[in-house]
Amino acid sequence: MALIVKNHNAMKKIYFLFIFLVSQIIHSKSQSYELGGISGKDTINKSDALGKKQGKWIIKGKHKPGSCFSEEQKAEEGKYNDNKKIGKWLEYYCNGNLKNQLTFQNGRPDGYAIMYHENGKISEEGNWKNNRWTGPYKLYYENGQPQHEFNFNASGKREGPVKYYYEDGQIAIEGTFVNGKEAGVIKEYHPNGDLKAEKTFNDGAVDVASIKEYEPKKPIIKVVEKIEGPKAIVNADENVNGGGSKNRGALILNGQNTTYNKNKQITKDGFFKDNRLMDGKQYIYDANGILQRITVYKNGNYVGDAPVEN
């Protein structure tokens, strides 16, 4: 009898040991990680037992099949918490230059943001809060010169002094906005710096009788194109729901149209002229298909961001 009890206890211990080992094997297989970082020995790219990304991640070309990155080339880096981006994230162009530097909270950009041109110079910077730009905001030409200087209020509308510049740094337009609309005197300048026009606005509407136009006092040697914001152009991989015409095999959009990405999400909606969004909205998504930003265009120019609903 004692021998039977002893054997039973031994079998029980073996059984529990077996269960423990199996659970450890399953647990270890359900998690994944890599070694990397500066030392090459840091734990990175970790996914927990539920497959959620955790901690430091360095996303390389091998994680983005079909992209322009080589297998071991860095494309993005930052931290995850339960599959959501947190803190500062860096994204790169395929040439190795920074593409953007964003601050995330709970998977969405929230904080100071800097975007870059492919040549490495800053393209825009400002504070992204509650799904919109707030406070001082700057947009730059590819040569590094400022293009626009705005100030956005808490609602994401232009508020206070506004300045537009020519590509050589010369002031082009200056004035004041109140709640997203022109207010008071707006001044326009010739490329040589001489005053070109003065117009008085009230709640975004110009007082035609107030318009004063001036000829340049000094001769204008260099002809500079009209100041424009970043253009919203239809991409080759966008599908169209609406009118369009074929021109030498390429789709040319004119008039009211809506475009969609491969996930059937709206990318642009509004009035187009020769494939350029003139009046309407552009919808920007991250790699996971989450809406990150809605840029608004008027007369072909970027005028601000519309709020993104959570």
Domain assignment of residue 284, yes or no: yes
Partners of 306 in the β-ladder = 294
Domain-located, residue 11 = no
pLDDT computed for residue 292 by the predictor:
76
Alpha-carbon gap, residue 161 to 182, rounded angstroms: 10
CATH number, residue 218: 2.20.110
Q: Count of domains in the chain?
A: 3
In a domain, 279, yes or no: yes
Q: Is residue 22 part of a domain?
A: no
pLDDT of residue 264: 86
What number of CA atoms fall less than 13 Å from residue 246's CA on the CB side?
Answer: 2
Domain assignment present for 99: yes
User: Do 253 and 283 fall within a single domain?
Assistant: yes
Per-residue pLDDT of the chain (310 residues; tens, 9 = 90+): 444 444 455 455 544 444 444 444 444 445 565 765 555 556 888 999 898 999 999 999 998 888 889 999 999 999 999 999 999 999 999 999 999 999 999 888 899 999 999 999 999 999 988 878 899 999 999 999 999 999 999 988 899 999 999 999 999 999 999 998 999 999 999 999 999 999 999 998 989 999 999 988 877 665 444 444 456 777 777 888 744 443 334 568 888 989 998 888 889 999 988 888 999 999 888 776 778 788 888 888 888 777 766 5
Asked, for residue 45, whether it belongs to a domain, the answer is yes
Residue 58 lies in a domain: yes
pLDDT score, position 86: 94
User: What pLDDT score does 6 carry?
Assistant: 46
Domain span including residue 167: 136-227
What are the residues facing 240 on neighbouring strands?
259
Q: What count of Cα atoms within 13 Å lies in the side-chain half-sphere of residue 251?
A: 16
The pLDDT of residue 1: 47
For residues 65 and 112, membership in a common domain is answered with yes
Residue at which a domain ends, from 194, 227, 260: 227
DSSP per-residue codes, 37-68: TTTS-EEEEEE-TTS-EEEEEEEEGGGSTTSS
Whole-angstrom distance, CA of residue 162 vs CA of residue 150: 5
Residues 189 and 106 in one domain: no
C-alpha to C-alpha distance for 104 and 120, rounded to whole angstroms: 22
pLDDT of residue 11: 52
Instruction: Name the residue among 180, 273, 202, 286 with its Cα closest to residue 232.
Output: 273
